[in-house]
Structure 1
Amino acid sequence: MAASQPLDAGNSLIAAVRSALLANSALAGMLVGNRVMTWAPSSCPTPYVQIAHRSNDWSTATEDGQEVVLDLNIYHQPASQTPEAGTARAIMALCRQTLHTASLTLASPFKCTLIRVTNEIGPYRDPDGATLHGVVTVRALVDHT
């Protein structure tokens, strides 16, 4: 039977995703200071990954669950004025490679039953004219165990 308390797997999933991304040495080496975070200060050096999330109830009559959608926002300001999206694209590809169908261990009482990269956008130039911004969207289904 479904639990009476609302389920919130967002923080547990973000922690597992962050650990998986930083365990990829190629990706971690590309990010300034291994920056994978949920909130970036406005003066944060690039490249970095900022994680935003939203969730939907995925419960049944007998089990609690959540669909969690993560947007991995990749930010990069190339050193030159020449438009160059190579670094941002490489980071996006490594995020996809690391997370698509990954086996993630979440903190109890959560279990990630499915994780897929569902969408990629960009990179495109942000309104500041200097920052390249790409988005990798990840969908995960999480059970309450």
Structure 2
Amino acid sequence: MSLVQEWKKVYESDLSNIVTELRENLVSPAAVILSGEVGAGKTTFTRHFCDIGEISSPTYAMINEVGRLAHADLYRIEDESDLIHLEIPLYLENKDYFLVEWGKEWIKQLQREIPDEFNLYELVISVNDPASTDCGSPSRNYTLREIFE
């Protein structure tokens, strides 16, 4: 993996600017694996990336489509056959972006499922200690890496 960009001490109010910078760093079409603990802000990041007011985690639908973006949540995937049955390539026709929550453990399988023209990245989201902030809400760090086979 190769480091592309890092953002430190980001608050939700900063996410629109971070998304703009991130899009400038991505080579489209791009698949971005969103990694982080429960509550790190993967769905919040996706909402800002889509520039829409409400987006829910697709935990129950597995994959949602928003314009030229597909958003997947692989939290409930138990084995490779579950991943294959999602038919990911069908969702990615005419898409510029594919954001995947809980996809880190499935990277090798995703590389086989995602069309070859997609560039693969990982965005690691980590939550900073809430005691280190004055506003009560913890900031986050975002680290974008390109994934090579």
When normalised by structure 1's length, the TM-score is 0.32
CA radius of gyration, larger in? 1
More strand as a share of residues: 1
TM norm structure 2: 0.32
